[in-house]
Amino acid sequence: MGKSYKNISNTLDQNNKNTHLSRSPNFEILRVLAMLFIVFWHFNIHGIMHNLSGKAIFVIYKSPISYINYFLSEYIMIICSISVNCYVLISGYFLVKIPFKFNRITKIWFQTLFYSIIICITFHIFMPNTIGIKEIMKSCTPIRSNEYWFITKYLGMIALSPLLSKIAIVITKKEYKILLLILSILNITFYSNIPFGNIYGGPNSLMWFIFLFFVAGYIRLYKFSLPKWNYGILFTLFSFIIFLTIISKALIEVIILKNNISYMGISYNGLCFFLSLFLFLWFQKHNFKKNIINDLIVKIAPYTLGIYLIHDNRYMRSFLWYSGIDFDKYLNSSLLIPLMFSFSIGIFLACAFIDFIRSKIFIYLQINTLIDFTNSRLEKFSKKIFLIIDKNT
């Protein structure tokens, strides 16, 4: 055991370097952009919308600048909601053609467990009356307790990825198109739960992630592209349609229905799915020049998951959004949008730096070595299980 453990340790850094170099700069930049969008999304969904929960928006927004804040924050929130789709599309694009490795699950699991426990204990130290032993014990099972809904569903998709990939490769192109058509009908919701809403899954479900996996897989396997169309133009067009939808909805609610203005809250689906698809295709085709800025963005990419795990932890979320900012003060102020950008970018950079420190801690404490040792044992165990299954079939 000790010898195997040491051998894995010696090859760890080189494996990480090779993995990093094999990644496409295009998608690494998209990954960073998507995570920044997620922070913006949380500023709106956990900050502004949570603050407005149960309040009459029509009463709160009292001035011209406040209505501008409403339309811009709603628009930014919807545009940024494409981030989750982009993350899953990137994964599906690569997973469909590479062998399954347990390290894709174990690395995420260890990192998630680390932040779940550390953040919970930290808040317990400063708020012992609020967070007790029960909460600390719950933090030890972040996947089972759905502490991070995205991680729970994402790991489920990765676990299924070898079978999903086999389906994608074995079926014919025509069958693949039929599969995508059926999954589209079952998953995509345009308005008011049409056609099926969340009956078969919904945008926060494993079913939605599987749908995105097959979409990205089709793009990779059949080199899907629309050469006569400009994805940037399509993205701009759909963005404009969404903005018109926001304005139209507000006017209908106030003038015709005599109701308060409400937020749409599309949440990854409908038009947002097409926005994320066009942005993904644009990044796939675009060639980024090698320069200082792009190189810096690519270097940040390995820490994007940590940014999510830190700032969207339930206790950190409460600290940042529910008590960290007096949103009532800014809703009728011209400082709301500048605050959104500065605060979100600040959180993004701070969490990236924290995860950079975490990566060094993992190396120093040989946690990465433990992860790779665990992977090797899981690989051997899975082979034994498959042999048993083969003998009994």
The predicted-structure confidence for 293-316, as pLDDT tens digits, reads as follows: 889 999 999 999 999 999 999 999
How much is the pLDDT for 192? 66
pLDDT tens by residue, 144-176: 888 899 999 999 999 999 999 999 999 999 999
Count: domains in the chain: 1
Buried b (16+ CB within 10 A) or exposed e, 202-234: bbbbbbbbbbbbbbbbbbbbeeeeeeeeebeeb
b/e code 120-143 from CB counts within 10 Å (16+ = b):
beebbeeeeeebeeeeeeebeebb
Average pLDDT over residues 50-66: 62
φ, ψ for residue 97 (rounded to 5)?
A: -125, 10
Alpha-carbon distance of 300 to 371, in angstroms, equals 22
Radius of gyration of the chain (CA): 22
Helices (H) and strands (E) in the chain, counts: 19, 0
Q: Percent of the chain having pLDDT more than 90?
A: 41
pLDDT at 12 over 60: no
- Whether residue 195 is preceded by a cis peptide bond, meaning omega within 30 degrees of 0, is yes
State which residues form the domain around 379.
2-391
Is-contact 177 230, C-beta < 8 A? no
pLDDT tens digit sequence for 21-44: 346 889 999 999 999 999 999 998
* pLDDT of residue 20 exceeding 60: no
pLDDT tens digits, 82-128: 999 999 999 999 999 988 888 889 999 999 999 999 999 999 888 87
C-alpha dist (Å) from residue 79 to 21, 30, 170, 271:
30, 14, 35, 10
pLDDT (0 to 100) of residue 156: 94
11: confidence class by pLDDT, cuts 50, 70, 90? very low
- Mapped onto helix, strand or coil, the DSSP state of residue 295 is helix
Q: What are the CA-CA distances from residue 13 to residues 22, 110, 139, 180, 218 (Å)? A: 14, 17, 29, 39, 33
pLDDT at 264: 62
Rounded mean pLDDT, 200-208: 84
Confirm if 208 and 201 have CB atoms less than 8 A apart.
Answer: yes
User: Quick one: pLDDT at residue 61?
Assistant: 57
CB distance 253 to 74 below 8 Å: no
Predicted local confidence at residue 380, as pLDDT: 80
Tokens coding 140: 């030890």
3 band by pLDDT with thresholds 50, 70 and 90: very low
